[in-house]
Structure 1
Amino acid sequence: MNTANPQLEGLYLALSALVRQMITIGVLSQEDLDTAMAQAREQAEADFESSPLPDANRKAVLFPIELLALAGKGEAETFRALARRVALGT
């Protein structure tokens, strides 16, 4: 069994909880999060231009960015629920 995937799932959930908490206590606004994730997407896209990747790899790189962007919107969710939302683009 590859332990990297469960470790990454835990990391994403931990980061999601931190993002939600920072928004809740006012350290980070939703607008700040949206701006930061847009910048991360732009940086990833710039890397893709200089070093083209297969579509599956591009999606893999963008996945955590999209997941964290969604994490700030709403209540705590399971990893699978967040991943489903990323896949559906909601």
Structure 2
Amino acid sequence: MSAFTKHILLPAIAPIAIVVLYLTPVSLVGCANRGLMALIVVFISLIVGIVTGVLGIRARVKGEPASGWWIASTFVLVTPALLVLGPLG
């Protein structure tokens, strides 16, 4: 698996899930259920984002060249929270 797939495409599932939940009709899922699903996606992505941030900082301190990928993963994983608090909230 390439670094781009591992650090960008796989974490991008969380922001895509938030947009899909936003575009899902209320009659299909229900308002409360959509909100709870969005909350779960945001909560899980923030926890994983914190973990990848710590891994990225550790890699940066050690001077590993892959540290930039971990930091990029952190930014991608924080995006769902920003989407819920910002334009899709």
Does TM-score exceed 0.5, indicating one fold?
no
Give TM-score scaled by structure 2 length. Answer: 0.42
Pick the structure with more helix per residue: 2
Give TM-score scaled by structure 1 length. Answer: 0.42
